[in-house]
């Protein structure tokens, strides 16, 4: 029997999304493997978490590449498409934000690859240059705010406080318009 690494990672991610503290034995059972078979693929929990993190990064990079290929002139439209693609990934992989990540050469402080950060920063810079995003907010702050909104919406959806179908709209509305009431035009 050939063990499909991708299927094991998918099963592990699904379980850990709902139960971040699941044991390796529980993860093996969810993947339909013995614990020994799981350990042959991933020698320990940290190796499994790192593999899931790499998978999550690949999915996010694919979403970013899709937005870049579309070459939207409108940064808000590009952010909308990116957010709609990333929100399901954040729901699936949100547990990673609570895991310890080693600070490897290709990782940012929180374990997110620098290439992802650079692409999103470039999108924010482009929006500022085009006049669709405020110039008084540093692009790095916009990146941190965006990440915070993405993980906040995942937590709120997991807690049942918002409907998952509203997640992308909530992230975009808060990022682009804030929480202030806009006076009605007279």
Give the global pTM: 0.76
Q: Are 127 and 134 in contact (CB under 8 A)?
A: no
pLDDT in tens, 98-110: 654 444 333 433 4
> Which sign, positive or negative, has the C-alpha torsion 64, 124, 79, 158?
positive
* Average pLDDT of the chain, as a whole number: 85
CATH (one of 3.30.70, 1.10.287, 1.10.3470, 1.10.10) for 1-43: 1.10.10
Tens-digit pLDDT profile for residues 54-70: 888 888 899 888 888 77
Domain parsing of the chain, residue ranges:
1-43, 53-177
Summarize pLDDT for 29-49 with one digit per residue, the tens.
999 999 999 999 999 999 999
Of the candidates 78, 61, 69, the one whose C-alpha atom is nearest the C-alpha of residue 126 is 78
d(CA 90, CA 171): 12
């Amino acid at each position: 029997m050939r063990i499909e690494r991708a299927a094991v990672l998918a099963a592990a991610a699904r379980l850990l999304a709902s139960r971040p503290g699941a044991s390796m034995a529980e993860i093996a059972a969810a993947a339909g493997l013995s614990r020994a078979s799981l350990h042959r693929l991933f020698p320990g929990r940290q190796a499994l978490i790192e593999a899931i993190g790499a998978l999550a990064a690949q999915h996010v990079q694919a979403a970013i590449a899709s937005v870049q290929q579309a070459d939207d002139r409108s940064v808000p439209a590009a952010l909308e498409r990116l957010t709609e693609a990333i929100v399901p990934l954040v729901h699936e992989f949100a547990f990673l934000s609570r895991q310890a990540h080693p600070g490897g050469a290709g990782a940012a402080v929180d374990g997110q690859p620098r290439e992802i950060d650079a692409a999103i920063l470039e999108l924010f810079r482009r929006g500022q240059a085009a006049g669709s995003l405020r110039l008084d907010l540093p692009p790095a702050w916009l990146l941190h705010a965006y990440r915070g909104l993405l993980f906040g919406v995942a937590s709120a959806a997991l807690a049942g406080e918002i409907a998952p179908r509203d997640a992308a709209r909530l992230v975009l509305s808060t990022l682009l318009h804030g929480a202030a009431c806009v006076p009605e035009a007279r």
